[in-house]
Each structure stands twice: as structure tokens, then as C-alpha cells.
Amino acid sequence: MAIDLILGLQWGDEGKGKIVDVLTDNYDIIARFQGGPNAGHTLEFDGKKHVLHTIPSGIFHPNSLNLIGNGVVIDPISLKSEIDSLVPYKIDFSKKLLISKKAHLILPTHKILDAASEEAKGKSKIGSTLKGIGPTYMDKTGRNGIRVGDILSKNWKTKYLKLTKKHLGILKSYNLTKKYDLNLNENVFFKSIEKLRKLQLIDSEQFLMNSKKNGMKILGEGAQGSLLDVDFGTYPFVTSSTTTAAGACIGLGVAPNQIGEVFGIFKAYSTRVGSGPFPTELFNSEGTIMAKVGNEYGSTTGRARRCGWIDLVSLKYSVNINGVTKLMMMKGDVLSGFKKIKICTSYLINGIEIDYFPYDTNTDNLKPIYKELPGWDEDLTSITKFSDLPKNFVKYISFLENALEVPIEIVSVGPDRKQTIFK
Ligand code: GDP
Ligand code: IMO
Ligand code: MG
């Protein structure tokens, strides 16, 4: 049986957490394949909102197993506080949460290095979440990292001290004005390592292989979005992992021919948090309305998200790179009340029109070209049937489906689990 994937097609925060939660009833295992606590995946049900950072979004379902794959980078402090915050839900983490021994650990010094790197970049900073993601993946590919499995060996502290020392050396090489707190709060870190040690630390690729053989259904949960992919995103304003479908092969140990459905999620408009090019960004009242109605504040950092119209050029690119088989459109409700809905269909770069996502999307030289469709006034948030959706909203959906050549199977009209329409 193949493994299905859910991944974001824009710059993250498309609503992956909500949809994974909605779909978990159909799966036995939810497996996160990349990223780390830079992610903030929001779920809402029974009038409560939950933001998950490292724990997969299937955790609230009684029968689901939730795996943190080898491609994820784990901050033990952040993971412990996430687990602690879920105590009222009586989730048995020792049974429901599985962690790959091959996942890499984020150390306190990785977070300091992240902050120092951003400071050194000055105006051209990435806008990192400062969770230590870049430095941890650098240590992974530089073959210096510490893996979850290492904490099971007696000499792991020697490894920790060696790497920390190296980090402090690197920090000295920066010409920084800001003072960093080098009091590493090691007590908190080591306590959280103790907590991690008590969880099920496994050879997760083997576990997935066996589960698959036994007929269990597996859903891979991506973090971030395709335009933040380290290769295909708006480099260097990207994250440090492979956020596209290939990242699931690497981050779970699943062969490409074992991937089944690839569910691509996008918002009915665009948002971006942090720096970097954003061709359809709005600086007018339309953008302000999207931000306000859509409550566009980062789930991890609380920063305001930049907003703009939907961008079909980049969406087509994401659909192709990921091999998306089904689309899910989120937050259509936010666009109610706009007289006209704009859809970017091509870019004008230095006077030349192009309809593909190029090497450089620096917005100084780029002008988005829009098609306009009529808007709708109806409130969508309590609609439960596709046939009850306003005519102009359905026209918008059909236009996008035709352009992207992939069906939109789910339309989300609010943050709650129940505000989900299956076509
Ligand atoms: P993720 O990182 O992809 O899981 O997305 P986030 O959780 O960071 O951001 C999505 C935000 O939109 C969250 O606050 C969700 O509760 C909210 N949300 C999800 N779907 C909808 C929707 O259809 N309508 C509205 N209004 N909000 C939604
Ligand atoms: P989810 O999974 C939106 C952005 C940061 C920054 C850049 C690099 O919730 O969709 P990093 O901390 O990785 O060094 O930051 O990537 N970013 C996200 N933006 N959603 C996310 O995750 C993000 N994770 C990282 O804002 O611009
Ligand atoms: Mg998010």
C-alpha cells in the first residue's frame, strides 16, 4: 500500500495541520517528514485551538500513531513543552508518539547561531523563526550533528560538549554587536533529553515498511511550503529542508514508487511570513483586509503575515514539482466581500511576459499580470455542502482547477474541523 502525502504549495501556513487532523480518521499513522519547531500547525475542534510544532497533527485521534521521521530536526526543550501542554488531553505519548533515532537534535547553541547569522546578515536577513533550523541542518549535512539515537549511548555528553564547543568557536568568529546569552540553560536541556529518552525511539523506516506490509495506512505530513524549499523556493529566503514531495522520501525512507496521493494545500490567496520575494504582495487596503479577516499572524512567532492575491505561476510550479494529485483550497471564506478577485496568471519581468516560475523572482523587476473574476458577498463559514456554495466562488474554484489541471477535492471555509467541504 502506498503512502499519501500532504504538503503546502505556497510559503507555509496553508492549513496543513487542520487538514491532517480532518483526514486522520482515514489513516493509521501520521508521519512528519521534515522541518522542526519552525512549523506551527493549527487545529481547531470543540471550540479549542491547538498549535503543534513538532508533534504530528494526528495526535488527537484516539487510534492514530504519530511518527516524527528522520528528516525532522527536534528541539527536545520545545518537544517537552509541547507534550506538557497537552497533559489535559490524556494522550498516552509513550504509545502514540514514535521518534526516529536518525532525526537530528537542535542544541541550545544552534539557536544562538541562528540568531547570530541573522544579525550578521543585517538588512538581508532571512526572517528565520530563530528555532535553530539552519544551523542544525548544516551540522547534519556537514556530518557533525547529534542524532536522537545518540542519547541512548553513554558517551553522548562528550559529543554534546564537543559540538557545543565548536559552536561557541564559530560564534566568536562573527563580528557581532549584540550580546548573546551563553548561559545555555543546560539543566532544562538535559531534563528534556531525559523526557525524550522515555519515548519510543525507533528505526522508523523499518517500522514504516512493516506497517505498510501489514496494510496500515500512512499519511506523510509536510511542514513549511514548496516556495520555502531549499532547492526550489525563493532562495536564499527559504528554510533548510526539502519541503517538496521528494522530502518525504528522504525524511521517512520511503521509495518514490511507494508514494500514492500527493495532496497539495493552498490558500485562496497568498501569504508569506519573513523576508523574501512575494510577487503578488499587496500594500493596500485589500491586503490589510485579508490579514485582518484571515487573522494572518504566524502560529510560531506571532509575526504579521504579508498578504496578496493568489499566484498561479508559482502554484503551477509547486503542483508540478510535487506531482500533486489532489488539491485542497483553504480560507475561501476570507475573500467574501471583495468585489473582484484577482488571479496572477503570468509575470512581466523586465518587459518580457513569462508564465513559469523563474530563477529570480525579485519583485523590483517583476510585475504580476492579473485576470479578474467577480467576487461574492455571501458568508461561507456555515456552508457544509459544495452545492450550497455561491456561484461566483464555484467559478473561482473551476478557474483554478482548469489552470492547474488538478481537481480541488476539499474546500475549507473556516478554521474548525467541521468547516470542511468535500466535493
Ligand atoms: P499550517 O502551518 O499549514 O498548518 O497552517 P497554520 O496553522 O500556520 O495557519 C493556518 C491558519 O488558518 C490557522 O490559524 C488556522 O486555524 C486557520 N485556518 C485554516 N483553515 C482555515 C479556513 O478555511 N478559514 C479560515 N478563516 N481560517 C482557516
Ligand atoms: P509551517 O509548517 C511559514 C519561514 C520563516 C523564514 C524562513 C526560514 O507552519 O507552514 P527558518 O526558521 O526555517 O530558518 O525560517 O521560513 N518559515 C515559515 N513560514 N510557515 C512555516 O511553517 C515556516 N517555517 C519557516 O518565516 O522566512
Ligand atoms: Mg504554520
- Contacts by 418-423, CB closer than 8 A, 24 or more apart: 418/45, 418/384, 419/333, 419/381, 420/18, 420/19, 420/22, 421/383, 421/384, 421/385, 421/386, 421/389, 422/386, 423/386
pLDDT in tens, 347-370: 999 999 999 999 998 878 899 999
Q: How far is the CA of 239 from the centre of ligand 2 (A)?
A: 6
**Angstrom distance (rounded) from CA 162 to CA 139:** 13
Which residue is closest in CA terms to ligand 1's atom 25?
414
Does 184 score more than 70 pLDDT? no
Pocket of ligand 1 (CB under 6 A): 8, 12-18, 39-42, 44, 294, 299, 330-331, 333-334, 412-415
- 217, 23 contact by CB (below 8 A): no
pLDDT in tens, 67-99: 999 999 999 999 999 999 999 999 999 999 999
pLDDT in tens, 211-258: 999 999 999 999 999 999 999 999 999 999 999 999 999 999 999 999
Does 191 score more than 80 pLDDT? yes
When the pLDDT of each residue in the chain is averaged and rounded to a whole number, the result is: 96
Options 13, 21, 75, 333, the catalytic residue: 13
Residue 299: band (very low, low, confident or very high) from pLDDT cuts 50, 70, 90 = confident
Which residue is closest in CA terms to ligand 1's atom 26?
414
Residue 366, H or E segment: strand 366-374
- 97, 59 contact by CB (below 8 A): yes
**Angstrom distance (rounded) from CA 343 to CA 202:** 46
- 385, 421 contact by CB (below 8 A): yes
Options 4, 21, 28, 41, the catalytic residue: 41
pLDDT of residue 331: 98
Pocket of ligand 2 (CB under 6 A): 8, 11-13, 35, 38-41, 126-129, 131, 133-134, 223-225, 228, 239, 273-274, 299
Residue 298: band (very low, low, confident or very high) from pLDDT cuts 50, 70, 90 = confident
Give the global pTM.
0.97
pLDDT of residue 357: 96
Does 182 score more than 90 pLDDT? no
- 137, 105 contact by CB (below 8 A): no
**Which among 411, 295, 421, 420 is positioned nearest to 45, based on CA atoms?**
420
Active site residue 50: no
> In the 3-class helix/strand/coil scheme, how is 5-60 assigned residue by residue?
EEEECCCCCCCHHHHHHHHHHHCCEEEECCECCCCCEEEEECCEEEEECCCCCCCC
Active site residue 379: no
